[in-house]
Structure 1
């Protein structure tokens, strides 16, 4: 009898590390999408934008919609290597968000508003505005992580470096090594994040 696959939990330390990398890659993605989007991308983004502004429904419905937005923006960026790099980070980060949501209605409303900001900027072909909107979403996820799980004492510096990088400036990725954060834990930081696990049919989170 099969025992199934054990998916290790994502802890706050992992989520901070994921968001640090996700931040830089998504800014690149939205910038590229502003200049490389094709008419069919714009048409589909408009449709998704309308859904984000309407009655989204359940948390599962919201999760599916978010996945569509991320996938379409990555497609509009026109770089398969970038898309492949972002997808597993988003999947793991979403799983953390999904499993720690306390007030679903409030969190979905916040996430939808921030995602609309990204979509609007991409549709306007404004790369600076799109980058700021992407950073705003990442800041929200950093704050969410901090609120639901008090970080280890060695992580507040990373959180401060991640959040509010500076309006109008390109985000700078922290020079801290994820391996350093995991010293003494008995495992490397990338062991549990080598690939994105299946979410059991739920493309969860923001």
Structure 2
């Protein structure tokens, strides 16, 4: 099967669409998912706030059927809770959940980084090099929104280069939870944008150079930064990078 075929199948798996789904529906559900996820991640839809399908449809400019499908995925991802007779409630940011997320995400990110360094195409490697510089520029200008959008592009580029739709599907909700946590807390961290940009850039440059081991090591450093960031934000009393089980006690 070709890469294009793999991507098509992965898209069907990710959106939960059957082979008989109407043409264009899956792509609209994907667009609805991305739009609503950004509203949640950016805090426009605040934790514990309620919203309706009708409101989300009007806010995103997307029909209610794909919005409903996107909300089902977001509920599975832990971003919203659908409450009968009340609407859709955005879930709260939970420190224990975030640390559990990072325990799992660390292993998956290392796998994806290794595969990306091994399987990226020449044009993709050039984009990795370019986006490293763009993230550093966003950090220097303290443009948090641009940084968040570039971070999302980095994730998409990593998945594209790694060519493993199972890993992509599994890690997607973990990244969403991490992105929301970062965006809602980054103003409390002096220098956090530059630290984050540097660790991202190291990873993307390792992939650009096809250095599998350097990419794996850079991925681990990035996850160590993300975990330290979470602990500092919430003033957790653990300075080391031990498992989430210790932190949750």
TM-score (norm 2): 0.59
Bigger proportion of residues as strand: 2
Which stretch of the first structure deviates more once superposed, 88-97 or 37-46? 37-46
Q: Does 1:30 align with 2:30?
A: no
1: CA distance between counterparts of 2:231 and 2:212? 29
2: CA distance between counterparts of 1:90 and 1:160? 19
Q: Specify which of 164, 184, 189 is matched with residue 99 of structure 1.
A: 184
If asked which structure has higher relative contact order (CA below 8 Å, sep 6+), I would say: 1
Number of residue pairs matched by the alignment: 164
Task: Give the CA deviation at 1:103.
Answer: 4.4
Q: Does 1:122 align with 2:203?
A: no
1: CA distance between counterparts of 2:133 and 2:198? 12
Match of 2:155 in 1: 70
2: CA distance between counterparts of 1:17 and 1:105? 25
Give runs of ≥4 in structure 1 deviating > 6 Å: none
Bigger proportion of residues as helix: 2
SS in 2 for 1:5: strand
Task: Give the CA deviation at 1:105.
Answer: 6.1
CA contact (8 A) 1:59 1:104 kept: no
CA contact (8 A) 2:135 2:197 kept: yes
Map Cα deviations across residues 28-84 of structure 1 (whole Å, 9 max, x no partner). Answer: 000001111112211221221221232455211110011101110111001111111
Task: Give the CA deviation at 1:85.
Answer: 1.0
2: CA distance between counterparts of 1:138 and 1:47? 22
Q: Specify which of 207, 220, 230 is matched with residue 145 of structure 1.
A: 230
1: CA distance between counterparts of 2:204 and 2:218? 9
Pair member with larger Rg: 2
Match of 2:197 in 1: 112
